[in-house]
Amino acid sequence: MSDEAKKRSNEQEPQSQSVQPSAETGEGHAQEIDALRKEKDELFAKFQRICADYANFQKRVPKQISDSVTYEKERLLKSLLPVLDNFERTLKAEAAGQSLEAFIKGVEIIRSQMLGVLKSHGVEPIPAVGEKFDPERHEAMLRKHDPDRADEVVLEEYQTGYRLGDRILRPSRVAVNKIPQEMNKPSCDQGTEATQDDSGQEGNGE
Protein backbone atom coordinates (compact mmCIF):
# COMPACT_ATOMS: atom_id res chain seq x y z
CA MET A 1 0.00 0.00 0.00
CA SER A 2 1.33 3.39 -0.90
CA ASP A 3 1.96 6.10 1.60
CA GLU A 4 -0.87 8.15 0.17
CA ALA A 5 -3.36 5.31 0.61
CA LYS A 6 -2.29 4.74 4.20
CA LYS A 7 -2.73 8.44 4.87
CA ARG A 8 -6.29 8.41 3.53
CA SER A 9 -7.10 5.30 5.60
CA ASN A 10 -5.85 6.94 8.77
CA GLU A 11 -7.98 10.05 8.10
CA GLN A 12 -11.16 7.99 7.59
CA GLU A 13 -10.83 5.96 10.85
CA PRO A 14 -11.15 8.93 13.25
CA GLN A 15 -14.20 10.14 11.32
CA SER A 16 -15.95 6.78 11.71
CA GLN A 17 -15.06 6.69 15.40
CA SER A 18 -16.46 10.21 15.92
CA VAL A 19 -19.79 9.25 14.35
CA GLN A 20 -20.40 6.36 16.78
CA PRO A 21 -20.43 8.50 20.01
CA SER A 22 -22.82 10.93 18.34
CA ALA A 23 -25.38 8.17 17.77
CA GLU A 24 -25.10 6.97 21.37
CA THR A 25 -25.64 10.52 22.64
CA GLY A 26 -28.80 10.85 20.56
CA GLU A 27 -30.20 7.64 21.99
CA GLY A 28 -29.44 8.88 25.55
CA HIS A 29 -31.26 12.16 24.90
CA ALA A 30 -34.27 10.30 23.55
CA GLN A 31 -34.46 8.16 26.70
CA GLU A 32 -34.25 11.27 28.91
CA ILE A 33 -37.04 12.91 26.93
CA ASP A 34 -39.22 9.81 27.25
CA ALA A 35 -38.59 9.70 31.02
CA LEU A 36 -39.46 13.39 31.41
CA ARG A 37 -42.58 12.95 29.29
CA LYS A 38 -43.66 10.01 31.45
CA GLU A 39 -43.01 11.98 34.66
CA LYS A 40 -44.98 14.92 33.27
CA ASP A 41 -47.95 12.66 32.44
CA GLU A 42 -47.88 11.15 35.94
CA LEU A 43 -47.76 14.58 37.59
CA PHE A 44 -50.60 15.86 35.40
CA ALA A 45 -52.73 12.82 36.25
CA LYS A 46 -52.02 13.35 39.95
CA PHE A 47 -52.94 17.03 39.63
CA GLN A 48 -56.23 16.10 37.97
CA ARG A 49 -57.05 13.68 40.82
CA ILE A 50 -56.30 16.40 43.40
CA CYS A 51 -58.54 18.86 41.58
CA ALA A 52 -61.35 16.32 41.44
CA ASP A 53 -60.96 15.49 45.14
CA TYR A 54 -61.01 19.19 46.06
CA ALA A 55 -64.14 19.78 43.97
CA ASN A 56 -65.87 16.90 45.77
CA PHE A 57 -64.65 18.27 49.09
CA GLN A 58 -66.18 21.68 48.34
CA LYS A 59 -69.50 20.02 47.57
CA ARG A 60 -69.37 17.66 50.57
CA VAL A 61 -68.34 20.03 53.39
CA PRO A 62 -71.29 22.47 53.22
CA LYS A 63 -73.69 19.53 53.34
CA GLN A 64 -71.86 18.03 56.31
CA ILE A 65 -72.01 21.38 58.15
CA SER A 66 -75.71 21.76 57.35
CA ASP A 67 -76.46 18.22 58.54
CA SER A 68 -74.48 18.79 61.74
CA VAL A 69 -76.33 22.04 62.51
CA THR A 70 -79.69 20.38 61.82
CA TYR A 71 -78.79 17.47 64.10
CA GLU A 72 -77.78 19.79 66.96
CA LYS A 73 -80.99 21.80 66.57
CA GLU A 74 -83.04 18.61 66.62
CA ARG A 75 -81.23 17.36 69.73
CA LEU A 76 -81.79 20.67 71.56
CA LEU A 77 -85.47 20.90 70.63
CA LYS A 78 -86.14 17.30 71.64
CA SER A 79 -84.60 17.96 75.06
CA LEU A 80 -86.93 20.96 75.53
CA LEU A 81 -90.12 19.08 74.74
CA PRO A 82 -90.41 17.40 78.19
CA VAL A 83 -90.15 20.85 79.80
CA LEU A 84 -93.02 22.06 77.63
CA ASP A 85 -95.03 18.98 78.60
CA ASN A 86 -94.58 19.78 82.29
CA PHE A 87 -95.69 23.37 81.70
CA GLU A 88 -98.89 22.11 80.10
CA ARG A 89 -99.54 19.68 82.96
CA THR A 90 -98.99 22.43 85.56
CA LEU A 91 -101.34 24.80 83.78
CA LYS A 92 -104.03 22.12 83.49
CA ALA A 93 -103.69 21.33 87.18
CA GLU A 94 -104.05 25.04 88.03
CA ALA A 95 -107.17 25.24 85.89
CA ALA A 96 -108.55 22.21 87.77
CA GLY A 97 -108.34 24.11 91.07
CA GLN A 98 -104.88 23.24 92.30
CA SER A 99 -103.63 25.27 95.27
CA LEU A 100 -101.22 28.17 94.73
CA GLU A 101 -98.53 26.44 96.78
CA ALA A 102 -98.69 23.33 94.61
CA PHE A 103 -98.64 25.51 91.48
CA ILE A 104 -95.49 27.33 92.62
CA LYS A 105 -93.82 24.03 93.47
CA GLY A 106 -94.65 22.75 89.98
CA VAL A 107 -93.07 25.86 88.41
CA GLU A 108 -89.94 25.36 90.52
CA ILE A 109 -89.70 21.77 89.32
CA ILE A 110 -89.98 22.93 85.72
CA ARG A 111 -87.29 25.55 86.30
CA SER A 112 -84.94 22.91 87.72
CA GLN A 113 -85.68 20.68 84.77
CA MET A 114 -84.94 23.53 82.37
CA LEU A 115 -81.62 24.23 84.07
CA GLY A 116 -80.79 20.54 83.77
CA VAL A 117 -81.48 20.63 80.05
CA LEU A 118 -79.27 23.68 79.61
CA LYS A 119 -76.49 22.05 81.62
CA SER A 120 -76.66 18.96 79.42
CA HIS A 121 -75.86 21.27 76.51
CA GLY A 122 -72.98 22.95 78.37
CA VAL A 123 -74.92 26.05 79.49
CA GLU A 124 -74.56 27.08 83.14
CA PRO A 125 -75.57 30.13 85.23
CA ILE A 126 -72.86 32.67 86.02
CA PRO A 127 -72.19 33.07 89.77
CA ALA A 128 -73.00 36.60 90.87
CA VAL A 129 -74.07 37.46 94.45
CA GLY A 130 -71.07 37.51 96.77
CA GLU A 131 -68.61 37.38 93.86
CA LYS A 132 -66.17 40.15 93.07
CA PHE A 133 -67.45 42.26 90.19
CA ASP A 134 -66.07 41.08 86.85
CA PRO A 135 -66.97 43.28 83.84
CA GLU A 136 -66.58 40.29 81.53
CA ARG A 137 -69.24 38.29 83.41
CA HIS A 138 -71.31 40.99 85.15
CA GLU A 139 -73.13 44.09 83.97
CA ALA A 140 -73.42 46.74 86.69
CA MET A 141 -76.96 48.17 86.71
CA LEU A 142 -76.69 49.94 90.07
CA ARG A 143 -74.09 50.85 92.69
CA LYS A 144 -74.98 50.57 96.36
CA HIS A 145 -73.17 51.26 99.61
CA ASP A 146 -72.89 48.55 102.26
CA PRO A 147 -70.09 49.25 104.75
CA ASP A 148 -70.26 45.68 106.04
CA ARG A 149 -69.35 44.22 102.64
CA ALA A 150 -66.12 44.46 100.65
CA ASP A 151 -65.73 47.00 97.88
CA GLU A 152 -66.65 45.92 94.32
CA VAL A 153 -68.64 42.89 95.55
CA VAL A 154 -71.93 41.96 93.88
CA LEU A 155 -74.79 42.63 96.30
CA GLU A 156 -77.83 41.74 94.21
CA GLU A 157 -78.64 40.00 90.95
CA TYR A 158 -81.43 41.40 88.79
CA GLN A 159 -81.05 39.01 85.86
CA THR A 160 -79.16 35.71 85.76
CA GLY A 161 -76.32 35.46 83.27
CA TYR A 162 -75.35 32.29 81.42
CA ARG A 163 -72.21 30.94 79.82
CA LEU A 164 -71.48 28.19 77.33
CA GLY A 165 -68.10 26.83 78.32
CA ASP A 166 -65.78 29.84 78.24
CA ARG A 167 -68.17 31.92 76.13
CA ILE A 168 -70.57 34.37 77.77
CA LEU A 169 -74.09 34.02 76.38
CA ARG A 170 -75.20 37.02 78.40
CA PRO A 171 -73.73 38.73 81.51
CA SER A 172 -75.48 38.85 84.86
CA ARG A 173 -77.18 42.18 85.61
CA VAL A 174 -76.18 43.11 89.12
CA ALA A 175 -75.89 45.75 91.84
CA VAL A 176 -72.30 46.35 92.98
CA ASN A 177 -71.06 47.55 96.35
CA LYS A 178 -69.15 50.83 96.19
CA ILE A 179 -67.36 52.13 99.27
CA PRO A 180 -66.30 55.81 99.13
CA GLN A 181 -62.54 56.36 99.08
CA GLU A 182 -62.77 58.56 102.19
CA MET A 183 -63.76 55.47 104.19
CA ASN A 184 -60.90 53.38 102.83
CA LYS A 185 -58.08 55.66 104.07
CA PRO A 186 -57.60 57.72 107.27
CA SER A 187 -58.59 61.37 107.14
CA CYS A 188 -55.91 64.06 107.36
CA ASP A 189 -58.10 66.06 109.73
CA GLN A 190 -58.38 63.10 112.07
CA GLY A 191 -54.61 62.75 112.10
CA THR A 192 -54.16 66.45 112.90
CA GLU A 193 -56.70 66.32 115.70
CA ALA A 194 -54.99 63.29 117.21
CA THR A 195 -51.63 65.11 117.16
CA GLN A 196 -53.14 68.18 118.82
CA ASP A 197 -54.74 66.03 121.52
CA ASP A 198 -51.42 64.34 122.26
CA SER A 199 -49.70 67.75 122.51
CA GLY A 200 -52.38 69.02 124.88
CA GLN A 201 -52.02 66.00 127.12
CA GLU A 202 -48.27 66.45 127.29
CA GLY A 203 -48.77 70.12 128.25
CA ASN A 204 -51.21 69.19 131.00
CA GLY A 205 -48.80 66.62 132.33
CA GLU A 206 -46.11 69.28 132.69
- For residue 81, give the CATH number of its domain: 3.90.20.20
The reply to whether 83 falls in a domain is yes
In terms of residue numbers, what domain contains 154? 124-201
Q: Does residue 64 lie within any of the structural domains?
A: yes
Structural domain includes residue 15: no
> Is residue 73 domain-resident?
yes
Residue 155 lies in a domain: yes
Residue 125, pLDDT above cutoff 90: yes
- The dihedral built from the CA positions of residue 147, 150, 153 and 154, taken in this order, carries a sign that is negative
Percent of the chain predicted with pLDDT > 90: 22
**pLDDT-derived band of residue 6, with 50, 70 and 90 as boundaries?**
low
Residue at 48: amino acid letter:
Q
Element (H, E) at 169: strand 167-170
Provide the b/e sequence for 79-107 (b: ≥16 CB within 10 Å). Answer: eeeeeeebeeebeeeeeeeeeeeeeeebe
Q: Residue 173 pLDDT more than 50?
A: yes
Label residue 86 by pLDDT band (50, 70, 90).
Answer: confident
Q: Is the pLDDT of residue 13 over 70?
A: no
Q: What Rg value do the Cα atoms of the chain yield, rounded?
A: 46
Domain boundary among 97, 121, 145: 121
Q: What average pLDDT does the chain have?
A: 78
Whether residues 80 and 155 share a domain: the answer is: no
Q: Which pLDDT belongs to residue 19?
A: 47
Which of 121, 143, 164 is at the close of a domain? 121
At residue 121, φ and ψ (nearest 5 deg) are: -100, 10
Higher pLDDT, 22 or 161: 161
- Residue where one domain finishes, among candidates 92, 121, 150: 121
pLDDT the model gives residue 102: 81
- Whether residue 83 contacts residue 114, with contact meaning beta carbons closer than 8 Å, is answered with yes
What percent of the chain shows pLDDT beyond 70?
A: 73
Are 172 and 191 in contact by the 8 Å Cβ rule? The answer is no
Of residues 205, 130, 121, 203, the one with CA closest to residue 169 = 121
Average confidence (pLDDT) over 5-27: 56
> Is 157 contained in some domain?
yes
Which pLDDT belongs to residue 107? 86
Q: pLDDT band at 29, cuts 50/70/90?
A: confident
Q: Which of 15-24, 60-69, 138-147 has the highest mean pLDDT?
A: 138-147
